[in-house]
Amino acid sequence: MTGKFISLEGGEGSGKSTAIVCIQRWLDAENIDYIMTREPGGTVLAEEIRGLILASRDEAVDDMTELLLMFAARAQHMSQKIRPALEQGLWVISDRFIDSSFVYQGRARGGDTEKLNTLTEWVVGDNKPDATLLLDVPVDIGMQRVADRKNADRLDKESIEFHEKVRQGFLEQADLEPERIKVIDASQPLEQVSAQIVTQLDALKTAWKRGV
């Protein structure tokens, strides 16, 4: 039986790191074998590309350059880590995946959706996540959380307008694929956020046991 693939999405400061801890505890309690990974990154080469993408620099980064670097990292990630793990029956939990490209390089930067669809077909194919947990918070709350970070990256430093586009972009993605993308109200207290996540994980486990 192949494993399940879960991605976590959300704007800056949405609480993905805290959600990952909740998911790990649930998986451990359920005795489910899994791997944790992230995008961009997940392999040695993909992590090197991540550094190129997120580094603050004086040179302007062309939108197409950013897009192609993201998919180059994703191609390596898919072939060397995600597909092999799923084939071994492991659950794969990824901090960000394809929806981030459609939002950051697509809606927020005005990228070409047709190009994104083509790249997705080439690189991801039928390996979209079984479930995507979208951690949604108002931008002002997210940016307050980001302000406490010691090492803000290039995307953290984008304008408030950009981050608003990101939030709306993710919600639009959820509207397009409501069966896959589940919106989690991440502005609530931690216990309530965790309860929302566990509800989705329980449903996914039930489907997995049925071989769905």
Which residue ranges form the domains of the chain, and what is each CATH number?
5-209 (3.40.50.300)
The C-alpha atoms of residue 10 and residue 167 are separated, in whole angstroms, by 7
The C-alpha atoms of residue 183 and residue 200 are separated, in whole angstroms, by 10
The C-alpha atoms of residue 16 and residue 9 are separated, in whole angstroms, by 7
The C-alpha atoms of residue 19 and residue 186 are separated, in whole angstroms, by 9
Q: Which residue has the tokens 């459609």?
A: 102
0.75 exceeded by pTM: yes
Distance of CA 46 to the CA centre of its chain: 15
Annotated binding site for ATP: 10-17
The C-alpha atoms of residue 94 and residue 11 are separated, in whole angstroms, by 15
Name the stretches of the chain with pLDDT < 50: none
The C-alpha atoms of residue 52 and residue 69 are separated, in whole angstroms, by 8
User: Letter for the amino acid at 179?
Assistant: E
Backbone phi, then psi, for 9, in 5-degree steps? Answer: -130, 165
pLDDT digits (tens, 9 = 90+) for 167-184: 999 999 999 999 999 999
Sign of CA dihedral 62, 63, 68, 73: positive
Annotated binding site: 10-17
Query: Are the C-beta atoms of 144 and 13 separated by less than 8 Å?
Result: yes
Sign of CA dihedral 57, 60, 66, 68: negative
Q: What is the pLDDT of residue 154?
A: 67
